[in-house]
Structures are given as C-alpha cells and as structure tokens.
A = this chain, B = another copy of it.
C-alpha cells in the first residue's frame, strides 16, 4: 500500500496511520521525493501521532527521508512523535538534529511557516 501525500498550498502533508512494513517505507520515500520534485513544495509535515513504535529499518528510512527532502530544498517538520518512537530514534543513532518537531499537524504547519519565514 502507499501512504497518501496531501498537497496544501506550498506544503506536503503526510499522516502515517498504518504500521509501516519495509516496502511501504521505501515506497513512501520514493513517493515523497517525487512529489517534492513534482510540486516544488517548500515544506513537508510528517505526522507520526498514530505510530506507536518503529523498528530500526523504519527509523533509518525516516532519518534518510528527512535528509533527502532537505537536500531537495524542502524543510521537514516531524509531528506527534510518541515516547517509544523518540526512544527508538535516539537509541538507533537517528538523531534528527536540527529537525523541527511539533505536537500535531496544526502546530507543524505553524512551525513550517516560521522556519521558512512565510
């Protein structure tokens, strides 16, 4: 299955609400990068509110997709990171330094606007 990517103004919104297996994660990475390219989006909010836990592979893909998006010129904000997800990310060395985070989608969009000075 594919994770839907919504375009709103100049931003892409993603809410991950299924347990991601490896293929879904890789597909998501591809889809997001091609959507950034296609739409010229300046920012991305990835909402993880519904994600209870992640494994090492998903953590790595998530870290990578943030860096890749930044390389392509789109700022990423992660929202709704739950305690076990935060623990997994740090324990696995996916530090996501300089990656802005926020409580939920709304706060994430606000943060994005601030970061981009829009």
The reply to whether B4 and A4 form a contact with Cβ atoms under 8 Å apart is: yes
The reply to whether B18 and A1 form a contact with Cβ atoms under 8 Å apart is: yes
The reply to whether B2 and A6 form a contact with Cβ atoms under 8 Å apart is: no
The reply to whether B106 and A9 form a contact with Cβ atoms under 8 Å apart is: yes
Residues on B with C-beta less than 8 A from A104 are: 7
The interface size bin for chain A is: 10 to 19
Given A8-B106, A105-B8, A2-B18 contact (CB < 8 Å):
yes
A74 at interface by CB-CB < 8 Å: no
Residues on B with C-beta less than 8 A from A16 are: 4
Residues on B with C-beta less than 8 A from A3 are: 4
A13 at interface by CB-CB < 8 Å: yes
A82 at interface by CB-CB < 8 Å: no
The distance in angstroms between the C-alpha atoms of A18 and B109, with both chains bound, is 25
The reply to whether B9 and A4 form a contact with Cβ atoms under 8 Å apart is: no
A15 at interface by CB-CB < 8 Å: yes
Measured CB to CB, the closest approach of chain B to A113, in angstroms, equals 14
